[in-house]
């Protein structure tokens, strides 16, 4: 599809879209050698037979024009896509969507966001991402965020839900320039808890790195394998099945704010939480565990609005 114009009324915006959607059901009818297994076919098995994997991609560039943040370039590749942008004061808000049922074995997703000097982008997703059982490959999710001088990035996805026997690998790298602000939210669920699948995933690996002007501010790595002997859900999470993480990187947040937020979040036995200062006076990091994912998200977003 050629680039078009007029995506936003406030400024000239270039848009580009590439569709690369491969379905295991495309092409001639496949012969099933074991007719008795037909009823047990899953999307993963169809994809395995047809060698088809989805490589979704979203790219967004935001610049500041006439005191307003506008999308100057955007790109998506199926099954991922972007909503029409919404104006939120000086910020622009876009929603990421997935037209597939979730991430199936072998799928990969890549997100890239560039926020120009003084611009403000808010990114959310339509729903939590389902991670389906693995047949050996697993899924990969990559996120890269660049925020220019005095820019603001709010990264607020709905998070991921690892199904039974799923394998997930995630890598996020965030680069901030002088005076840039960041709100980073990560929501994690132990699985389809209502179906008795809590902590039944095979492997969860996630790496997060945040830099300011080339200096490493934060490095967080998760490597959980519940089916191996060194992992105990009770030791790591207690009675909780939901985990929320919020990083607020901005000037002016100190010990007083951290203590105030910690008292607000921590309310046992329903939820356990706390806040800590990030190095070099960069901001505050929050962790909140509980049994309700929607409640955790609500509380963390309240903190975001207040601070």
Give a yes or no: residue 161 inside a domain: yes
- State residue 165's pLDDT score: 96
Measure the CA angle with vertex 152, ends 148 and 157; round to 5°.
120
pLDDT one-digit tens code per residue, 219-252: 999 999 988 876 767 667 888 999 999 999 998 8
pLDDT one-digit tens code per residue, 97-123: 999 999 999 999 999 999 999 999 999
Tokens 């609005």 correspond to 305
User: How far apart, in whole angstroms, are the C-alpha atoms of residue 106 and residue 267?
Assistant: 40
Give a yes or no: residue 90 inside a domain: yes
| Residue 37 in this model has a pLDDT that exceeds 80 | no
- State residue 94's pLDDT score: 98
How is the chain split among helix, strand and coil, in percent rounded to 5? Answer: 15, 45, 40
117 in Cβ contact with 150 (< 8 Å): yes
The residues, any chain, with a CB within 8 Å of residue 130's CB and separated by 6 or more, are: 101, 102, 103, 160, 161, 163
Tokens linked to 201: 């995933």
Mean pLDDT computed over 132-152: 97
| Residue 175 in this model has a pLDDT that exceeds 90 | yes
Give a yes or no: residue 83 inside a domain: yes
Q: What are phi and psi of 93, to 5 degrees?
A: -120, 125
User: How far apart, in whole angstroms, are the C-alpha atoms of residue 14 and residue 25?
Assistant: 34
Give a yes or no: residue 247 inside a domain: no
| Residue 11 in this model has a pLDDT that exceeds 50 | no
pLDDT one-digit tens code per residue, 46-99: 454 445 689 999 999 999 998 899 999 999 999 999 999 999 888 999 999 999
**137 lies in which domain range?**
48-237
User: How far apart, in whole angstroms, are the C-alpha atoms of residue 12 and residue 283?
Assistant: 35
| Mean of per-residue pLDDT scores for the chain | 85
Give a yes or no: residue 277 inside a domain: no
pTM (two decimals): 0.83
Give a yes or no: residue 261 inside a domain: no
Give a yes or no: residue 141 inside a domain: yes
Number of domains within the chain: 1
Give a yes or no: residue 62 inside a domain: yes
């Amino acid at each position: 599809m050629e680039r078009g114009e007029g995506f936003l009324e406030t400024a000239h915006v270039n848009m580009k879209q590439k569709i690369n959607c491969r379905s295991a059901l495309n092409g001639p009818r496949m012969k099933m050698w074991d007719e008795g297994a037909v009823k047990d076919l899953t999307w993963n098995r169809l994809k395995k037979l047809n060698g088809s994997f989805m490589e979704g991609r979203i790219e967004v560039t935001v610049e500041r024009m006439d005191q307003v943040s506008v999308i100057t370039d955007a790109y998506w590749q199926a099954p991922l896509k972007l909503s029409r942008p919404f104006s939120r004061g000086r910020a622009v808000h876009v929603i990421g969507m997935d037209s597939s049922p979730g991430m199936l074995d072998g799928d990969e997703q890549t997100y890239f966001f560039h926020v120009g000097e003084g611009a403000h982008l808010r990114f959310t997703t339509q729903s939590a991402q389902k991670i389906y059982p693995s047949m050996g490959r697993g899924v990969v999710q990559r996120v890269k965020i660049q925020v220019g001088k005095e820019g603001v990035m709010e990264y607020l996805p709905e998070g991921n839900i690892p199904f039974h026997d799923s394998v997930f690998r995630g890598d996020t790298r965030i680069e901030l320039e002088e005076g840039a602000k960041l709100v980073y939210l990560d929501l994690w669920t132990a699985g389809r808890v209502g179906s008795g699948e809590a902590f039944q995933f095979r492997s969860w690996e996630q790496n997060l790195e945040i830099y300011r002007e080339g200096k490493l501010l934060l490095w967080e790595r998760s490597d959980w394998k519940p089916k191996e002997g060194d992992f105990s859900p009770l030791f790591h999470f207690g009675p909780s099945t939901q985990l929320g993480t919020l990083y607020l990187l901005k000037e002016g947040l100190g010990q007083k704010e951290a203590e105030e937020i910690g008292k607000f979040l921590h309310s046992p036995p329903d939820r356990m939480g706390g806040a800590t200062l990030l190095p070099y006076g960069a901001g505050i990091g929050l962790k909140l565990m509980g049994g309700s994912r929607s409640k955790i998200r609500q509380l963390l977003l309240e903190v975001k609005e207040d601070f």
